Chains A and B, each alone.
Chain A
Amino acid sequence: MLELKDICFTREDKKILDHIDLKIDDKKYIVITGPNGGGKSTLAKIIMGIEKPDSGKILLNGEDITSLDISQRANLGISFAFQQPVRFKGITVYDLLCMSVGRKLKQPEACHFLSAVGLCPNEYLKREVNNSLSGGELKRIEIATVIARQASVVIFDEPEAGIDLWSFNNLIEVFEKLYEKINSSIVIISHQERILNIADELILIANGKIKESGTREEILPKLLNNTRSCRFLKEE
């Protein structure tokens, strides 16, 4: 179980995260949503260790991991898919998959991870993770590297960002399949209704605070009914 206790994060006098308390149970599919600039991505980065909170604690299975760096948290089983996947000159898709699992993969294993995100392995394994790849291709490769790690907590930061509708529709299938074979706690930052529709639990974050959290059945209707004038935001 991942637990965030009283997390605060302020930059340039703006409270990005304001006393956040959150529990993420094992093998749950959680979607965090809310308006842009509300603190969602910062929260995801704080869980991975990319950002350090000003105060508060992060516990993984009861162990305080607040002071641990990114790689230490990764080795404890936290994995993170970037909103803007990183490009590397000279590093191939195969190299990246091997690095993600920490060993040399046999070709069929590497192919399996690429097939899982809808990419033809023969076309991609030897390609460099550079500017020659489209945004949609990079997203899929990013997701493949994260799935390959088989971590206990997997965070996806806006998987739909920067890709076209066609690629997004295909990506949704990846997340639906991920849900069917769930072995990890999955945390997805998203605005997309189709991703919200898969969640066990939904969390609404706005202005650095958790405005609402609960099961999909409880939260989703409220969100959809208040799209134009969201009452959670009005309460601010």
Chain B
Amino acid sequence: MEQKELNKIERFILKKVSDIEDVPEGAFNIRENGKKLMRKNTKNIKIETKLDKPGIDIYIQENTKGEKVYIPVILTADGMTDVVYNDFYVGKNADVTIIAGCGIHNSSCNTSEHDGIHTFYLEENAKVKYIEKHYGQGEGSGEKILNPETIIHLKSGATLEMETVQIEGVDSTKRITKGYLEDNANLIISEKIMTHDKQVAITDFLVELNGENSSTKVTSRSVAKDRSQQEFRSNIIGNTNCFGHVECDAIIMDQACVKAIPEIIANNIDARLIHEAAIGKIAGDQVTKLMTFGLTEKQAEKEIINGFLK
């Protein structure tokens, strides 16, 4: 294992995006400012540097059970655009958790940007829980931009559960997620976003249900504050006997703007596709109820938002 001592900012960002404060257990690759900072392989999980473009290949052997892989990215150099391609090859019957995420610390007036393109190849009956958090901090006027792209290929019987969270500090994000499902594959996506000030967040989901009995559930919960703008696009395509459910639920506050653009396409008589979208302010009776517990109006709103995005 290659190891170095982490400084205070690095530790803080790691905690924010990966919930770890130090070198994690299991396999990991920590990337900082476009370079490998630390890496560790295990018997079942190998991480290799790509030779043709920036990024890594992660190979998870078949039947690997209960292991975790951490691949956080830290961006502390201002004015930097870091583009990284990470490909995950998950063997048959493996059952693992992958924790990714990117944190930007930018105290300058220059823009910092991270574009992470993650591609998953899950073999038959493989199971992955994928957790991704995005976070920005720093007092400077320089923008913090994160554009994650996630492409998911699920072979027969494979399952991927993705939790993606962006809670604060990211000025602009365009998040693209694409899924291609074979027979009996299942893709579950849960997205949580909060934007404030003049932040802009665009999320774009495309899921193709190509295999018999494949299914997907995409849930997006978001809160838009101040003058921030959010756009949620989803497109579920049912090409066979399959099931797809998309749910977009947004709380709008202040002078924010939220746009939801649903699209469901059934190309087969046995495709069952549902889209639900709701945008609205915090319900007055929810605030009133919490005020009867002694909370002020502001405290009540905060608790409602925290719960909604939990």
Whether A71 pairs with B294 at a CB distance below 8 angstroms is: yes
A91: B residues at CB distance < 8 A: 303-304, 307-308, 310
How far apart sit A79 and B290, CA to CA, in the bound complex (Å)? 11
Known: A91-B303, A91-B304, A91-B307. A86 touches B285 (CB 8 A): yes
A69: B residues at CB distance < 8 A: 291
Contact of A70 among B288, B303, B304, B307 (CB under 8 A): B288
Main secondary structure of the interface of B (DSSP, over half): helix
Whether A86 pairs with B289 at a CB distance below 8 angstroms is: yes
A100 within 8 A of B: yes
Instruction: Report A83-114 residues with CB < 8 Å from chain B CB.
Output: 84-86, 88-92, 95, 99-100, 102
Whether A75 pairs with B294 at a CB distance below 8 angstroms is: yes
Known: A50-B288, A70-B288. A89 touches B293 (CB 8 A): no
B109 within 8 A of A: no
How far apart sit A52 and B297, CA to CA, in the bound complex (Å)? 17
Which residue of chain A lies nearest to B192 when distances are taken between CB atoms in the complex?
Answer: A90
| A-B contact number at CB 8 A | 61
A95: B residues at CB distance < 8 A: 303, 307
Whether B291 pairs with A86 at a CB distance below 8 angstroms is: no
Q: How far is the CB of A201 from chain B (nearest CB, A)?
A: 24
Whether A102 pairs with B307 at a CB distance below 8 angstroms is: no
Instruction: Report B36-57 residues with CB < 8 Å from chain A CB.
Output: none
How far apart sit A75 and B288, CA to CA, in the bound complex (Å)? 14
A85: B residues at CB distance < 8 A: 289
A residues contacting the other copy or chain, number (CB 8 A)? 24
A29 within 8 A of B: no
Whether A74 pairs with B303 at a CB distance below 8 angstroms is: no
10 A-B pairs with the lowest CB-CB distances in the bound complex, closest first: A91-B307, A90-B307, A70-B291, A74-B294, A86-B289, A71-B291, A75-B294, A90-B308, A80-B292, A90-B310
Instruction: Report B251-310 residues with CB < 8 Å from chain A CB.
Output: 283, 285-286, 288-297, 303-304, 306-310
Given contacts A91-B308, A102-B294, 16 further A-B contacts (CB under 8 A): A50-B292, A71-B292, A71-B295, A74-B292, A74-B294, A82-B285, A88-B308, A89-B307, A90-B309, A90-B310, A91-B304, A91-B307, A95-B303, A99-B290, A100-B293, A145-B293
